[in-house]
Amino acid sequence: MRTLSYSRAISEGLVQAMQRDENIFVTGIAVDYPSGIFGSTVEPAEMFPSRVFDAPAMEDGLTGIAIGAAAVGKRPVIVHPRNDFMFQGFDQLINLAAKWSYMYGGQAGRVPIVVRAVIGRGWGQGATHSQSLQSVLAHFPGLIVAMPAMPADAKGLLLTALQQDSPVVLLEHRTLYGHEGEVPERPIPIPFGRAAVWREGSDLTIVATSLMVHEALAAAEELMRHGIDAEVVDPRTIRPLDEETILASIRKTGRLIVADTSWEFCGFASEVAALAVEKAFHALKAPVRRIALADCPAPVSQPLENAFYPKASTIAQAGLNLFGSNSTVGEIDHEDSFKGPY
């Protein structure tokens, strides 16, 4: 199978979907720039210049316009270069789009809007440009929230999103756009609510989201050198959540680490920890460990930022500690190659 970057996979999926459905249009800050949201909207903008267009910084109004367009049959895709900008559109997204079919009893059609938003760390973006909002968004019934970690998932989940009747938020980590992997050329949607097991293991389950999937896979290789066989589970969608696959893995291994791109308190890691305690308590051989951001806003200083974000070594060390090992992990952390901006 050919290899594509995460960015190229999104671009290809978007083009294929737009070729099939003339109701799809793409808008947001810088979507038609030469840089095109890390390259993910360049080809769509070249092929469909009237359907890929820039928008001013008016997130609340833009989301409302997109909801209105969706209600009359269009399929808008809004792209936020930073997901923090979405805060301005939360009233429209959460109070209107997510509740549309509930409030109107299905008598006012559907609002199938797709929101792509960039999350995560990178080159000292600080407290207001690097957050990861999956827990906030997944809290509300009516919203689908996906976090693709692999290029094939970035394409497949986007294709699925563009076939839904419900609003979907796709959270894309900026560090992943250059990541390469095998991607099918055909437009193959990936179902929501179906996790991927990227590495099978027998001693420890690591449930990880987005960029943390890659950190977990590196940690699993390090743990194997210490005799610990870790399984890495990627939920792919936060809501709906594939509880069955997560619980099956916990019941097999008896130990759980959850590694997320956001904070621990009221976060996704806490949700999975609660799931394990409620439905797989008797299978647990050790306390659940949550790996998340330090409990403070993101710093701008690079040394502080390096300490703020958990890495592969953080997960691996937690795995060793779960087994009572006093060993320390090797130099397994990747250098952050992101050079910013979009």
Query: 182 - beta bridge partners?
Result: 3
Catalytic hit among 80, 129, 173, 179: 129
Length reported for the chain: 342
Is 129 catalytic? The answer is yes
Is 226 catalytic? The answer is no
Catalytic hit among 59, 172, 215, 305: 59
Active-site residues, by number, are 59, 129
